[in-house]
Amino acid sequence: MGIRNFAPRSHGRRSMTGFDFSEVTKTSPEKSLLAPLKKNGARNNHGQITIRHQGGGHKRKYRLIDFKRTKLEVPAKVSAIEYDPNRTSRIALLSYADGEKAYIIAPVGLNVGDSVVSSEKADIKPGNSLPLFAIPVGTVIHNIELRPGKGGQVCRGAGASATLAGKGDKYCQVRMPSGELKQILSVCRGSVGQVGNTDNENISLGKAGRSRWRGIRPGVRGMAMNPVDHPLGGGEGVGKGHHPVTPWGQPCKGYKTRHNKRTNSSIIKRRK
């Protein structure tokens, strides 16, 4: 896995970087694990835009990923490492001993031919899935459940990982990528290792069109708008005397927006 540079034959190419896809071993996905992915342009059932700057992009098929890892005590062999257009990480195609196939997020160090298993007694090696109480303290983990049986929700992006910081009778302490220390039920599952494709953060898109291929539409600065469209809009020349706010007047850049009292008790140490 490495980063590819391009010859500077245009302004966009000069700063553009891309993947060399050296770790990808199969170009076509497993047909039985595909699902249609309909576009909605970030609009809800009333046709209103609920998330700005989304729309367009290349057509995709969704890859059915096994985030739950509930096929217990059945060893699987890694058949291929594939590219997934729906996420920043790579995915691994597993072939179980009973003939079933599944996709999982590919961690660092997982290669074609390796064997993985989901079990309480599994070895501590990349790709294996265990309950948190069965994982040694200090282990790097990813794809972590927050509710038993719901499937992994935390640490699924490229290069992401958390650390098991401590264990108790009912809860385990997990240090999140943000630095937050969170307690999670010990029966929740996690996978060993760090999510692969760690160079994703170093990629430079190089041109606006490459963002449009990904379904990201242009974002206009509030200062460049009219007063009717944004609180920072209007004025003769460039006006910089405003506090940064959203188009709806809510302060941003430092203003706390967390109002989730339900999960406050699970946070042992804040990220700040």
Q: What is the pLDDT of residues 222-253, one digit of tens each?
A: 999 999 999 999 988 887 888 999 999 999 99
Helix spans in 26-147 (H): none
The helix/strand/coil state of 12 is helix
Residue-wise pLDDT tens digits, 158-184: 999 999 999 999 999 999 999 999 999
Q: Which long-range contacts (CB under 8 A, 24 or more apart) does 161-168 make?
A: 161/193, 161/194, 161/195, 162/190, 163/138, 163/139, 164/132, 164/135, 164/136, 164/137, 164/138, 164/139, 164/190, 165/137, 165/138, 166/137, 167/132, 167/133, 167/137
Band (1; pLDDT cuts 50, 70, 90): low
Place of tokens 């990349």: 126
Residue-wise pLDDT tens digits, 197-230: 999 999 999 999 999 999 999 999 999 999 999 9
Band (62; pLDDT cuts 50, 70, 90): very high
Q: Residue 5 corresponds to which amino acid? A: N
Within a 10 A sphere around the Cβ of 30, how many other Cβ atoms? Answer: 18
**For residue 45, is pLDDT > 80?**
yes
Instruction: Please give the pLDDT value at position 105.
Output: 98
Paired tokens of 42: 């970030």
The number of angstroms, rounded, from the C-alpha of 27 to the middle of its chain's C-alpha atoms is 21
**For residue 27, is pLDDT > 90?**
yes
CB 182 within 8 A of CB 174: yes
Q: Which of 41-55, 138-152, 183-197, 239-253 has the lowest mean pLDDT?
A: 239-253
Q: Is 34 left (phi over 0), alpha (psi -120 to 50) or beta?
A: beta
Q: CA-based angle 202:208:211, to the nearest 5?
A: 65
Percentage of residues in the chain having pLDDT higher than 70: 100
**Stretch 63-89: mean pLDDT:** 97
Q: Exposed (0-12), middle (13-18) or buried (19+): which is 163, by Cβ within 10 Å?
A: middle
Instruction: Please give the pLDDT value at position 95.
Output: 97
User: How confident is the prediction for the chain on average, in pLDDT?
Assistant: 95
Distance between CA atoms of 153 and 109, rounded to whole angstroms?
21
Instruction: Please give the pLDDT value at position 263.
Output: 92
Residue-wise pLDDT tens digits, 112-127: 999 999 999 999 999 9
The helix/strand/coil state of 105 is strand
Whole-prediction pTM value?
A: 0.92
Place of tokens 């069965």: 134
Instruction: Please give the pLDDT value at position 215.
Output: 96
**For residue 2, is pLDDT > 90?**
no
Rg (CA), the chain: 22
Q: Which domains does the chain have, with CATH numbers?
A: 3-201 (2.40.50.140), 220-272 (4.10.950.10)
Task: Please count the residues of the chain.
Answer: 272
**For residue 73, is pLDDT > 90?**
yes
